[in-house]
Structure 1
């Protein structure tokens, strides 16, 4: 016996709900990808320069395409700021000496649609299962000392602000960071890991802590090597006809010697 019209309609709704749940899960998985900087100065025993990676397998994942980088700034030890050009893929040159690199990823929309994932908003795909926009930022402490550069505040939507110079850390020293969302203290989880750490999967982190009411997190990098600290925040997109959520990742990388 053929199913009646009501049965077919209910089956279609059930299928749409299932697809929506799957799409939401896939979108959540996609949010695990974020950018970070790996940099070396003249005194690090490596070729000086920096790379911008994108993914979640620290320290080396795929490289972020130059066209996806909105801006890169170099803050020298005296606090002077200059814009850097990022042309081509691979290693980008660095000014001499220690300091701070600050970069932003070009914001993008990502929608899960009947046709699969699309780099577009609901304006292009009004029937999308879900839509998110990324707004990612990154910092890297470069060299064995950074002067006053570590104090530089860029004003990213989500920003990690160290409260002491990460370049001066010895293994086991604590590092306090203030996490700001739109300039205000943010309460949530901050995660950290180091090059060579192996957890149960690629998205495990060596350290997970929570910020206090003032947005301050305390990290203890207990081993030498390259470290990454990251925070992730999410909020409703201002116009639901355009997108659902706006997601922010902010990362800070530095070396413990």
Structure 2
């Protein structure tokens, strides 16, 4: 039985989670770009695991295609870097990442297992991450890619300028989410609790303020209890990010 939207929204925001995020950027200064996968928070990075990457897609005006690029670890930091991939301009690059089950043991440590395998566990969560990158004006930015949790731009991110706003909508299983808390980061190492936050209205829409040119990351991280798999976990946590680049204002 499908939950009414208002009840679902209340569950989503009742216990917001400070979950780690997955986000996507592209390499700069290369003729053929490479996808960079980041994990954690800008002030608390960890290397993502390639085997947890469930699927990646690229969407453009012609449709959506699956990609399976080879990734390697970067010597420059805790990120994964793809092989060079042509044809990414004017697209949405999207990823699904299964972070598995995490259980808090009686001693306070966390184990990558279900509560069924760790008797006496304090809590177990199932964790899933989604990430999108909009790469230019030709990208079908307003079209959802079909992630379970998704931030969808209603304005063209490539046309935003410092001092303006970018309207976005949060969708969960295709339905708009009221009261969702969206965090904005520019990738600098700012503590997570100091990031500027924006809350969606009754239609699931928020207007995000743009302060300066450069890369930006929007994230939303709801938690749902009880879990869809109550014999394995107590709650399900989700994280979705939207990355884009704000161009510097043009001068004559």
Identify the range of structure 1 (48-57 vs 117-126) with the bigger mean alpha-carbon deviation.
117-126
Aligned residues between the structures: 220
Q: Secondary structure at the match of 2:240?
A: strand
Question: In 2, distance between residues paired with 1:208 and 1:31?
Answer: 13
Kindly indicate which of the two structures has a greater share of residues assigned to helix.
1
Counterpart position of 1:99: 91
Alignment check: 8 A CA contact 1:66 1:86 kept: no
**C-alpha distance in 2 between matches for 1:203 and 1:79:** 40
- Aligned partners of 2:19 and 2:237 also within 8 Å: no
Match of 2:241 in 1: 251
State the distance in 1 between where 2:199 and 2:101 align. Answer: 28
2:52 corresponds to 1:68: yes
More RCO (CA 8 Å, sep 6+): 2
Segments of structure 1 that go 5 or more residues without pairing to the other structure are 1-27
- What CA distance in whole angstroms lies between the structure 1 residues aligned with 2:48 and 2:119? 29
Instruction: Report the CA distance between 1:227 and its aligned residue.
Output: 0.2
Aligned with residue 167 of structure 1, among 158, 169, 174: 158
Whether the 8 Å contact between 2:148 and 2:172 is mirrored in structure 1 is yes
Larger Rg: 1
Change (3 A) 1:79 1:163: farther
Aligned pair 1:84/2:67, yes or no? yes
1:57 aligns with 42
- State how far apart, in whole Å, the 2-side matches of 1:49 and 1:221 are: 26
Query: 2:143 maps to which residue?
Result: 152
Which region of structure 1 is more displaced relative to structure 2, 113-122 or 244-253?
A: 113-122
| In structure 2, distance between residues paired with 1:81 and 1:95 | 15
Runs of 4+ aligned residues of structure 1 deviating over 6 Å after TM superposition are none
The alpha-carbon deviation at position 158 of structure 1 amounts to 1.2
Change (3 A) 1:148 1:226: closer
Q: 2:177 aligns with which of 176, 180, 186?
A: 186
After TM superposition, give the deviation of residue 107 of structure 1 in Å: 4.2
